[in-house]
């Protein structure tokens, strides 16, 4: 018999509905299971509770129909589906019927022996009787607008926030804000709004007063885009539900801080910003035919070109769509986790807008309605996506029109699964458990690595998602018309070993496919249709790089000693077993940074002590006998955890992050430190606290570490070292105060640079300012080394550590450990071996007195 699950925000409401339905069954039994409320009195829905209810309701293995009340109940039910195994998920059908009427009809149909599709269909038609008894409802257009909310639905009290205003003073009910972002309410800020609402029991709507738009639901990313909200437009907000006041308050707070969008004032990548390049972005030689890349994501699966296909199998087509969406969601979440491991959670946030689109209730409702009307899943999905795409393309603002590309890209991914098509230049996800260090390519050991085969990809720009999934076996190099060497796409290209140049100018977009290109990502050179002599020069460089790479790899395991005998440790930054295996292959002396947050992100609850311990031991096994530096959880503010709700912050980059969050949520830090201490009894381990700015934070972290040591009952692990990240300028300037409490400092040059120069590295508009070789940043590194005074070792684990030319300055300033992506280790070791310490110190003093970062780079080029 078919089972039924009732998902409601209210446990009392669900019980009453089930009681009424059971009255209609006249003593016969149907497996109806309730998943409602967070407890007896608290409204809400819980995906884990729904997951358990689905298993209980599927007693006979005949399948389950799920009925839900409000919008977030649908989101929780969809998440519960993802927690099921494939077989169980295939037997579950989420039904859009009204809860009460649908439940009564579904129960009667189920007890009569109807199948899953028939039960759901009966529930969807449950309003037919009421509709037949009442005359059709006809209203004047104005009355179709929901009644305005009362004044007390807005709780924003800061009258000084100019972007937030009281519409009641202007003769309108409700509250609102003025859009301040240069490109309006585009995909990333809209995704943040959707994410904010996902944790609140409220139905929030917005409308654009400046254009007179209709109200649109705040949970629908595609409908938010149709507001056409440009800079200066006034947006009105209203909400209903148990947390309506809080929802409006948080949305308005989000608006005052520009929707936490670091790129809110950056140039449009599609329109392009010519930075005067080309610039070297990722070292290596690439030779091959040009291949234009359409950043809209259109390709073999294109939602704009799907014919109208019909089907009479509504349940089967609905299931096919659900499975395709689930598959794409899994891919994006996996990719998000990979990027988090490789370059950190800030870069991984690029996927949030695409994930939000996959759960867009308006988009999904439209697609399912089309399936109900007889369309095949592929046609239904393509049609629904194109409605959203067309709505965006009809807007007047070119930037917002370009956001149609995000919708189309996600639409094409799902369509590709429905049609069984792959993406030609996408690299399959490697299985970390199958990593084989012996199969490493020696030519990858050196940053000036040998010529790569394949096509040369030419594009205006690449999103981090696109850069992260390029097939390294088929893409010889990347040429971008716009962008900067410090943009996320460039960082990912370097991390993945794909040569790249950026800022090549819009003329490169006119290069015809198939045109021979030669690229040197080390110098920024691009040769279009090179003559035989020029091509020979590039190939000579590639041959030299191949030879050098092999030589460097053969020496990679040896220590990095300067010519006058000073040892500098060269380590690897890792986030997976595969990374740790690569660190062994490329001769890393230690793991200088493990980004442990990859264990905590993209899940419904925090990992336990045992799970963390097992993960750390697996890393150690892949990197046997050498030290692991485990950074404690570095999230919060701009990197929130789904299961750890945080209050809205005016500026999350300056808010509760790193150790600040850990000390406010000590249960998380206590579990992590206990797992680390357990491992440290058997493996050389360093523990490192992030985002430290005060002595009290260091002391508090040490106290919690001492408590973890006591809990193990085995005393302090031999060789356990304690360190802190130097990412805040204040910490660098207080190094002498902090040094007695730690064994080492590790300078995160990425964050230190952006905090020093007030230039977020993900914002292309200011990316040129965020150069870690700026003399101001170098002076903070020098202050850290001076403050350490020989009592604490000083390391660098940011992007600057991988720059072999910068090694001379860093070592000259007093840095004695460098940590980077594994493939950069052999070249940096060799750079250290060529140094003489007094000469490096003189070079460092010159760099400190230089007027600019470019002057420092010129100084290094002249060595």
Residue 551, token pair as written in the block: 């030589």
Spatial CA neighbour of 354 closest among 327, 337, 329: 329
The span from the CA of 291 to the CA of 271, in Å, is 20
10 Å CB burial of residue 40 (0-12, 13-18, 19+) is exposed
For the segment 463-491, the average pLDDT, to the nearest whole number, is 77
For the segment 492-511, the average pLDDT, to the nearest whole number, is 85
| Predicted pLDDT at 716 | 94
Q: Is 80 exceeded by the pLDDT of residue 559?
A: yes
Same fold, 149-260 and 279-290+438-541: no
Q: Is 90 exceeded by the pLDDT of residue 695?
A: yes
10 Å CB burial of residue 805 (0-12, 13-18, 19+) is middle
Q: Is 70 exceeded by the pLDDT of residue 609?
A: yes
| Predicted pLDDT at 168 | 37
Which CATH entry fits the domain spanning 562-861: 3.40.1000.10, 3.20.20.60, 3.10.300.10, 3.40.50.300?
3.20.20.60
For the segment 279-304, the average pLDDT, to the nearest whole number, is 73
pLDDT digits (tens, 9 = 90+) for 13-35: 999 999 888 877 767 788 999 99
The span from the CA of 76 to the CA of 283, in Å, is 45
Spatial CA neighbour of 480 closest among 448, 511, 449: 511
Side-chain-side CA neighbours of residue 121 (13 Å): 12
Specify the higher pLDDT residue, 302 or 108.
108
Residue 194, token pair as written in the block: 């959707």
The span from the CA of 817 to the CA of 777, in Å, is 18
Percent of the chain with pLDDT over 70: 79
340, 488, 681, 785: the active-site residue: 488
| Predicted pLDDT at 809 | 98
Q: Name the band, by pLDDT with cuts 50, 70 and 90, for residue 637.
A: low
pLDDT digits (tens, 9 = 90+) for 247-281: 898 888 888 877 765 444 433 333 334 344 578 88
| Predicted pLDDT at 735 | 97
DSSP assignment of 335-376, as one string?
A: HHHHHHHHH-HHHHGGGHHHHHHHT-HHHHHHHHHHHHTTB-
pLDDT digits (tens, 9 = 90+) for 650-691: 666 788 888 998 998 899 999 999 999 999 999 999 999 999
Q: Is 70 exceeded by the pLDDT of residue 215?
A: yes
- DSSP summary character for residue 236: E
Residue 756, token pair as written in the block: 């020093």
| Predicted pLDDT at 406 | 65
Burial 122-155 (b: 16+ CB within 10 A, else e): bbbebeeeeeeeeeeeeeeeeeeeeeebeeebbe
| Predicted pLDDT at 222 | 65
The span from the CA of 256 to the CA of 489, in Å, is 28
The top-scoring range by mean pLDDT among 390-399, 521-530, 752-761 is 521-530
Q: Is 60 exceeded by the pLDDT of residue 223?
A: yes
The span from the CA of 236 to the CA of 227, in Å, is 11
The span from the CA of 442 to the CA of 550, in Å, is 5
Q: Name the band, by pLDDT with cuts 50, 70 and 90, for residue 345.
A: low
Q: Name the band, by pLDDT with cuts 50, 70 and 90, for residue 515.
A: very high
| Predicted pLDDT at 118 | 81
The span from the CA of 52 to the CA of 69, in Å, is 18
Q: Is beta strand 525-528 parallel, antiparallel or unpaired with respect to 3-8?
A: unpaired
95, 340, 785, 797: the active-site residue: 797
- Give yes or no for a contact between 138 and 103, defined as CB atoms under 8 angstroms apart: no
For the segment 236-246, the average pLDDT, to the nearest whole number, is 90
Spatial CA neighbour of 359 closest among 383, 391, 333: 333
SS3 label, residue 758: coil
CATH topology of domain 3-132: Rossmann fold (3.40.50)
| Predicted pLDDT at 765 | 58
Q: Is 80 exceeded by the pLDDT of residue 614?
A: yes
Residue 633, token pair as written in the block: 């959880």
SS (H, E, C) 414-456: HHHHHHCCCCCCECCCCCHHHCCHHHCCHHHCCCCCCCECCEE
Spatial CA neighbour of 502 closest among 349, 273, 288, 343: 273
Task: Report helix angle 837-848 to 853-861, nearest 10.
Answer: 150
Which CATH entry fits the domain spanning 149-260: 1.10.10.60, 3.30.1340.10, 3.40.50.20, 3.40.50.2000?
3.30.1340.10
pLDDT digits (tens, 9 = 90+) for 383-419: 998 887 777 666 555 445 545 666 777 888 888 888 8
Which CATH entry fits the domain spanning 279-290+438-541: 3.50.30.10, 3.40.50.620, 3.30.200.20, 3.30.450.30?
3.50.30.10
What's the whole-model pTM score? 0.56
The CATH class that applies to domain 300-419 reads mainly alpha
pLDDT digits (tens, 9 = 90+) for 169-195: 333 345 889 888 766 776 667 777 887
- DSSP summary character for residue 156: -
SS3 label, residue 502: strand
Q: How far is CA 290 from the centre of its chain?
A: 30
Q: Is 60 exceeded by the pLDDT of residue 764?
A: no
The top-scoring range by mean pLDDT among 39-48, 329-338, 411-420, 837-846 is 837-846
Q: Is 60 exceeded by the pLDDT of residue 476?
A: yes
Q: Which of 69-73, 363-367, 705-709, 803-807 has the lowest mean pLDDT?
A: 69-73
| Predicted pLDDT at 763 | 59
DSSP H helices in 84-239: 86-90, 99-111, 116-124, 128-133, 187-198, 221-225
Listed by start position, the domains of the chain span 3-132, 149-260, 279-290+438-541, 300-419, 562-861
Q: Name the band, by pLDDT with cuts 50, 70 and 90, for residue 71.
A: low
Catalytic, 797? Answer yes
The span from the CA of 727 to the CA of 761, in Å, is 14
| Predicted pLDDT at 427 | 53
């Amino acid at each position: 018999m078919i089972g039924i699950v009732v998902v409601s925000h209210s446990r009392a409401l669900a019980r009453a509905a089930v009681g009424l339905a059971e009255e209609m069954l006249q003593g016969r039994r149907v497996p109806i299971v309730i998943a409602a409320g967070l407890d007896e009195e608290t409204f809400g829905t819980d995906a884990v509770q729904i997951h358990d209810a689905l298993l209980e309701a599927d007693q006979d293995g005949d399948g389950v129909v799920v009925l839900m009340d409000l919008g977030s109940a649908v989101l929780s039910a969809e998440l519960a589906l993802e927690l099921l195994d494939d077989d169980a998920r295939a037997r579950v059908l989420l039904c859009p019927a009204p809860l009460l009427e649908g439940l009564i009809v579904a129960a009667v149909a189920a007890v009569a022996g109807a199948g899953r599709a028939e039960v759901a269909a009966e529930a969807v038609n449950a309003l037919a009787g009421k509709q037949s008894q009442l005359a059709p409802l006809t209203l004047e257009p104005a009355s179709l607008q929901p009644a305005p909310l009362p004044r007390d639905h807005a709780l924003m009290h800061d009258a000084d926030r100019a972007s937030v205003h009281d519409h009641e003073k202007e003769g309108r009910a409700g509250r609102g804000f003025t859009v301040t972002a240069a490109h309006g309410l585009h995909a990333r800020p809209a995704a943040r709004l959707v994410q904010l609402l996902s944790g609140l029991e409220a139905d929030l709507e917005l409308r654009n007063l400046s254009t007179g738009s209709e109200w649109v639901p705040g949970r629908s990313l595609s409908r938010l885009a149709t507001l056409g909200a440009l800079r200066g437009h006034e947006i009105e907000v209203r909400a209903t539900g148990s947390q309506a006041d809080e929802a409006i308050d948080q949305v308005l707070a989000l608006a005052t801080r520009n929707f936490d969008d670091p790129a809110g004032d950056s140039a449009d990548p599609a329109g392009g910003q010519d930075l005067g390049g080309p610039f070297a972005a990722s070292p290596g030689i690439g030779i091959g035919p040009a291949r234009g890349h359409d950043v809209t994501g259109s390709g073999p699966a294109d939602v704009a070109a799907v014919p109208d296909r019909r089907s009479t199998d509504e349940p089967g087509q609905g299931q096919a769509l659900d499975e395709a969406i689930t598959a794409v969601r899994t891919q994006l979440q996996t990719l998000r986790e990979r990027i988090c491991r490789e370059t950190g959670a800030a870069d991984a946030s690029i996927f949030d807008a695409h994930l939000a689109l996959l759960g867009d209730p308006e988009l999904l409702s439209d697609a399912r309605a089309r399936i109900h009307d007889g369309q095949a899943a592929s046609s239904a999905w393509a049609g629904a996506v194109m409605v959203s795409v067309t709505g965006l393309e009809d807007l007047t603002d070119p930037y917002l029109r370009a956001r149609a590309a995000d919708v189309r890209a996600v639409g094409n991914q799902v369509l590709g699964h429905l049609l069984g098509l792959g993406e030609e230049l996408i690299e399959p996800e490697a299985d970390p458990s199958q990593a084989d260090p012996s199969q490493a390519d020696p030519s990858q050991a050196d940053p000036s690595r040998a010529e790569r085969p394949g096509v040369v990809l030419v594009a205006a720009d690449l999103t981090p998602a696109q850069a992260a999934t390029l097939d390294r076996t088929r893409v010889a190099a990347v040429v971008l018309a716009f962008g900067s060497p410090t943009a996320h796409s460039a960082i990912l290209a370097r991390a993945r070993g794909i040569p790249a140049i950026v800022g090549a100018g819009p003329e490169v977009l006119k290069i015809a496919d198939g045109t021979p290109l030669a690229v040197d990502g080390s110098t920024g050179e691009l040769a279009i249709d090179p003559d035989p002599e020029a091509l020979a020069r590039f190939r000579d460089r590639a041959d030299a790089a191949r030879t050098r790479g092999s030589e460097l790899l053969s020496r990679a395991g040896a220590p990095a000693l300067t010519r006058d005998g000073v040892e500098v440790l060269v380590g690897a930054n890792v986030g997976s077993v595969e990374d740790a295996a690569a660190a062994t292959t490329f001769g890393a002396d230690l793991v200088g940074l493990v980004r442990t947050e990859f264990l905590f992100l993209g899940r419904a609850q925090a990992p336990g002590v045992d799970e963390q311990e097992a993960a750390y031991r697996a890393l150690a096994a892949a990197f046997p006998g050498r030290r692991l530096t485990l950074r404690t959880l570095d999230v919060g503010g701009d990197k929130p955890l789904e299961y750890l709700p945080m209050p809205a912050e005016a500026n999350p980059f300056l808010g509760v992050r790193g150790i600040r969050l850990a000390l406010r949520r000590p249960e998380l830090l206590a579990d992590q430190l206990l797992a680390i201490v357990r491992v440290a009894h058997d493996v050389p381990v360093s523990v490192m606290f992030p985002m430290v700015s005060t002595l009290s934070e260091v002391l508090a972290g040490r106290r919690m570490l001492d408590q973890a040591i006591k809990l193990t009952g085995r005393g302090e692990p031999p060789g356990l070292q304690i360190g802190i990240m130097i990412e805040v300028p204040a910490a660098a300037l207080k190094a002498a105060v902090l040094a007695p409490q730690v064994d080492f400092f590790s300078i995160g040059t990425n964050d230190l640079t952006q905090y020093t120069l007030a230039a977020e590295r993900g914002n292309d508009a200011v990316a040129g300012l965020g150069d870690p070789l700026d003399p101001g940043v170098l002076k903070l590194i020098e202050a850290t080394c001076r403050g350490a005074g020989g009592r604490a070792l000083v390391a660098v684990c940011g992007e600057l550590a991988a720059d072999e030319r910068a090694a001379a300055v860093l070592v000259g300033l007093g840095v004695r450990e460098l940590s980077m992506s594994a493939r950069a280790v052999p070249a940096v070791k060799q750079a250290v071996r060529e140094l003489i310490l007094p000469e490096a110190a003189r070079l460092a003093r010159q760099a400190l007195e230089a007027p600019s970062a470019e002057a420092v780079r010129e100084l290094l080029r002249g060595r």
